[in-house]
Amino acid sequence: MNVVDSSGWLEYFAAGPNAEFFAPAIENTRDLAVPSLTLFEVYKNLLGQRSESEAMEAVAAMMQGQVIDWNAGLSLQAARLSREFNLPLADSVILATARSAKAVLWTQDADFDGLTGVKYQPKPR
C-alpha cells in the first residue's frame, strides 16, 4: 500500500518537477490509501488556485484509491507520533494513516525525512 501526502498530490496535479516521483504511487490506485485529511488539504488549496470544477476533478481522482477516514484510533496514534517526532497536526494524521494501513508514505515534506516507512524526495530549489 501507498499513501501520498498533500504536497505530493499537489505536485502531481501541477505537473511539477517531482510529479514523476509521485506518479507510481498515485497511478497504482489498487494499492493507494488516501487519508481523508489529504482530500481536505488538496481541495482547499486547489480552490484558491483553480476553479471549483478542477478542484472537484482532483478530489475524484484521489478517491479512486481507498479513502481512510480520520477516526478516534487514528487521532490517538497521530497524537503519539506528533509528540515523538514533533510533527504538526496534519503531518501526524497522515503518518498515522500510512502506518495504520501498513503503507509507504510518499512525500516531499522535509518533516518526514528520515522516518521509517517514508519515501522522501526533496523539493527542487
pLDDT reported for residue 74: 97
pLDDT at position 125 is 81
Q: What is the pLDDT of residue 81?
A: 98
Q: List beta partners, residue 4.
A: 106
Q: Residue 124: its pLDDT value, please?
A: 86
The DSSP line for 61-107 is: HHTTSEEE---HHHHHHHHHHHHHHT--HHHHHHHHHHHHTT-EEEE
Cα(13)–Cα(55) distance, integer angstroms: 10
pLDDT at 3: 98
Angle formed at CA 111 by CA 94 and CA 29, multiple of 5 degrees: 40
Cβ contact 93:70 at 8 Å? yes
- The pLDDT tens digits along the chain (125 residues) read 999 999 999 999 999 999 999 999 999 999 999 999 999 999 999 999 999 999 999 999 999 999 999 999 999 999 999 999 999 999 999 999 999 999 999 999 999 999 999 999 999 88
CA atoms within 13 A on the CB side of 28: 14
Cα(103)–Cα(26) distance, integer angstroms: 13
**Which homologous superfamily does the CATH classification assign to the domain defined by 2-120?**
5'-nuclease (3.40.50.1010)
